């Protein structure tokens, strides 16, 4: 009898185990990983935007997505990362628009010198119908543009001399982004421009293979360019946005609901990033001075000399960008400036 009881007990145990196995909850679906690559560092205004973006996507997808952030061009500079999106080997990046004009000519409208009078007007144009049209034009290139974030008005820094007039930049080796309009503008000023990806700029300044570069105040400060550049002139010559991009291959594989989560997150993060950028622009001019830089503000007459010198860029490039898109931006700017 004992024997039978033991055998029955084992049978019950075995049945219990088997049943347990069958009823086990299905394994939670693996988190979908979205990698985002940028060229700037973890202290940048742009990275502050990425952190907000990550938070929003992970919260609103209830943890179904994990957003991984990569700074310092770890996954490639602007052009390489964007090409990886087109190939579908990287999910997201947020480059300056300037190095992408070879892929999408419409983006070149932002590279026209002095096209925006201030950030507020730039934001309204970028967030309005004209900006949307430019984002939409990226779809045919295998890219989905989610939003424009603030990079900022670009200013000249150099290690040679204080710059107040176009004459002062004559012969100066200035790094620009890989963009034909930037090259043309600096050539028109008499400089010797050299296009280069962002990750090479600090070392090039340190080793003096270039004399100067141009970037917004938050980048000059957060990337510690003041360690290798003595002079900064607040030229504000070009406004370049960042464009938050997703691979169209990845986007097309998402549900409508998930697409909306990503689009909304890019917009919420945009507003946060612009605030961070505005704060940095406000406080960091003084910080650059404290760090030992000579920061020069131009008088209206001095600024006009720069504007006049680069004006021919419009005639040379408007047709290449698309006369209609240039006109649309200019008309929008005019309307917004009147108010
Ligand atoms: O993350 C953005 C950077 O890769 C780059 O676009 C920054 O403005 C920039 C530059 O000068 O290259």
Residue 240 CA to ligand 1 center (angstroms) comes to 9
Residues within 6 Å of ligand 1 by CB:
38-40, 46, 77-78, 95-96, 151, 177, 198, 215
What are the CA-CA distances from residue 239 to residues 60, 107, 205 (Å)?
32, 12, 23
Euclidean distance between CA atoms 81 and 105, whole angstroms: 18
Euclidean distance between CA atoms 111 and 334, whole angstroms: 18
How many other β-carbons are positioned within 10 Å of the β-carbon of residue 134? 26
Instruction: Please tell me the pTM assigned to this model.
Output: 0.91
Pick the atom of ligand 1 nearest to 213's CA: 11
Euclidean distance between CA atoms 63 and 84, whole angstroms: 25
| Ligand 1 mutation pick, 155, 198, 201, 223, max ligand atoms within 8 A of CB | 198
User: 């960091």: which residue's tokens?
Assistant: 284
pLDDT at 339: 65
Pick the atom of ligand 1 nearest to 198's CA: 12
Euclidean distance between CA atoms 101 and 105, whole angstroms: 5
Taking alpha carbons only, the member of 193, 190, 153, 185 closest to residue 168 is 190
Could you give the ipTM of this predicted complex?
A: 0.99
pLDDT at 227: 98
Residue 44 CA to ligand 1 center (angstroms) comes to 11
Euclidean distance between CA atoms 194 and 98, whole angstroms: 14
Strand pairing category for 143-153 and 239-247: antiparallel
pLDDT tens track for 57-88? 999 999 999 999 999 999 999 999 999 999 99
Residues 98 and 240 sit within 8 Å (Cβ to Cβ): yes
* 200 vs 2, more confident: 200
Taking alpha carbons only, the member of 313, 285, 261, 337 closest to residue 108 is 313
- Mean pLDDT over 137-159 rounds to 98
Least confident window among 13-22, 58-67, 87-96, 313-322: 13-22
Euclidean distance between CA atoms 300 and 304, whole angstroms: 6
| Ligand 1 mutation pick, 46, 75, 107, 177, max ligand atoms within 8 A of CB | 177
DSSP string, 15-54: HHHHHHHHHPPPPPPPPEEEEEE-SS-TTSHHHHHHHHHH
Residue 206 CA to ligand 1 center (angstroms) comes to 18
Residues 149 and 241 sit within 8 Å (Cβ to Cβ): yes
Euclidean distance between CA atoms 312 and 328, whole angstroms: 19
| Ligand 1 mutation pick, 85, 151, 242, max ligand atoms within 8 A of CB | 151
Computed over every residue of the chain, the mean pLDDT equals 94
pLDDT at 337 over 60: yes
Residue 9 CA to ligand 1 center (angstroms) comes to 70
Q: Which of the four pLDDT bands, split at 50, 70 and 90, describes residue 28?
A: confident
Q: Whose CA is nearest to atom 3 of ligand 1?
A: 39
Pick the atom of ligand 1 nearest to 98's CA: 6
* Partners of 241 in the β-ladder: 150
Residue 267 CA to ligand 1 center (angstroms) comes to 20
Q: Which of the four pLDDT bands, split at 50, 70 and 90, describes residue 25?
A: confident
Residues 156 and 236 sit within 8 Å (Cβ to Cβ): no
Euclidean distance between CA atoms 180 and 201, whole angstroms: 18
Residues 152 and 168 sit within 8 Å (Cβ to Cβ): no
Strand pairing category for 155-158 and 231-233: antiparallel
Strand pairing category for 65-70 and 32-37: parallel
Q: Whose CA is nearest to atom 12 of ligand 1?
A: 198
């Amino acid at each position: 009898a004992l024997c039978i009881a033991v055998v029955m007990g084992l049978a019950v145990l075995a049945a219990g185990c088997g049943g347990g196995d069958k009823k086990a909850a299905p394994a939670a679906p693996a988190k979908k990983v979205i990698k985002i690559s940028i060229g700037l560092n973890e202290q940048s205004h742009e990275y502050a935007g990425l952190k907000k973006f990550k938070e929003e996507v992970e919260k609103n997808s209830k943890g179904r997505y994990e957003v991984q952030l990569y700074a310092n061009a770890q996954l490639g500079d602007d052009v390489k990362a964007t090409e990886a999106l087109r190939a579908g080997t990287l999910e997201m990046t947020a480059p300056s628009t300037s190095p992408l004009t070879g892929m999408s000519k419409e983006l070149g409208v932002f590279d026209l010198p002095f096209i925006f009078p201030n950030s507020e007007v730039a934001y309204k144009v970028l967030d309005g119908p004209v900006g949307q049209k430019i984002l939409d034009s990226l779809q045919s290139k295998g890219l989905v543009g989610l939003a424009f974030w603030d990079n900022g008005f670009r200013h000249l820094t150099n290690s040679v001399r204080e710059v107040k007039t176009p004459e002062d930049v004559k012969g100066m080796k200035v790094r620009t982004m890989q963009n034909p309009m930037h090259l043309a503008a600096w050539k028109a000023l008499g400089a010797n421009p050299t296009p280069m990806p962002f990750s090479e700029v600090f070392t090039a300044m340190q080793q003096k293979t270039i004399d100067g570069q141009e970037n917004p105040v938050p980048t000059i400060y957060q990337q510690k360019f003041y360690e290798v550049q003595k002079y900064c002139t607040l030229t504000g010559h070009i406004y370049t946005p960042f464009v938050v991009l997703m691979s169209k291959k990845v986007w097309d594989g998402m549900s409508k609901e998930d697409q909306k989560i990503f689009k909304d997150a890019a917009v919420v993060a945009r507003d946060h990033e612009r605030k961070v950028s505005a704060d940095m622009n406000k406080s960091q001019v003084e910080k650059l001075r404290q760090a030992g830089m000579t920061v020069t503000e131009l008088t209206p007459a001095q600024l006009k000399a720069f504007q006049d010198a680069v004006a021919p860029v419009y005639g040379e490039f408007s047709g290449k960008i698309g006369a209609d898109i240039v006109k649309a931006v200019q008309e929008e700017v005019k309307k917004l400036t009147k108010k």
